[in-house]
Amino acid sequence: MNKAVIILVMSIFLFASCGNAGSPDPINFGSDLCAHCNMKIMDKRFGAEILTSKGKAYKFDAAECMLDYMKSNNSDNAAYWVIDYNNPETLINAASAYYLISMKIKSPMGEFLSCYKNSDAANESKSSNGGDVFDWKGLKTKFNVGR
């Protein structure tokens, strides 16, 4: 009886962890360190994460830190996530996100870069802050990230 319960519980955990394989590890603001610049991640409007195919999470205090990290660290099949500027602490898929570089938005690592879940949100922010909107591919080109 007891054994059956334990097995059941363990399988639930196993199942649960399988289900989570594709979603990012939440950033613990105020305690996690940026994998690139070593700073404590503090600002809930900014942040990014690389989830490798093996499930290891690299967290960053800003999207520009992740882009800088990507220049020297090539991880295949990794998933990239960024914090939605309009929804603090919420990680969204970097590949489908849109980006605004506006001098009015001060991001943690000095690149004035904010991230949005779609082009409408990015353009809406652009209309009040000015600047230029990029998609993920365009952003990587802008930051000279290979591939």
Between 79 and 121, whose beta carbon lies closer to another protein?
A: 121
* List 2, 38, 77, 127, residue binding another protein (CB under 8 A): 38
48 lies in the site for another protein, by CB under 8 A = no
Angle at 136 between CA 52 and CA 57, to 5 degrees: 20
138 lies in the site for another protein, by CB under 8 A = no
Polymer length in residues for the chain: 147
Residue list 10-29, contact with another protein (CB under 8 A): 29
39 lies in the site for another protein, by CB under 8 A = yes
143 lies in the site for another protein, by CB under 8 A = no
40 lies in the site for another protein, by CB under 8 A = yes
130 lies in the site for another protein, by CB under 8 A = no
Q: Are strands 48-51 and 57-60 parallel, antiparallel or unpaired?
A: antiparallel
Q: Rounded distance, CA 8 to CA 134, Å? A: 48
50-to-15, 121, 125, 133, 141 alpha-carbon distances in Å? 23, 23, 25, 22, 18
- Tokens standing for 143? 């930051």
56 lies in the site for another protein, by CB under 8 A = no
Between 43 and 135, whose beta carbon lies closer to another protein?
A: 43
145 lies in the site for another protein, by CB under 8 A = no
142 lies in the site for another protein, by CB under 8 A = no
- Tokens standing for 37? 């610049």
Residue 100: CA atoms inside 13 Å, Cβ hemisphere, count?
28
Residues that bind another protein (CB under 8 A): 29-30, 33, 37-45, 88, 106, 109-110
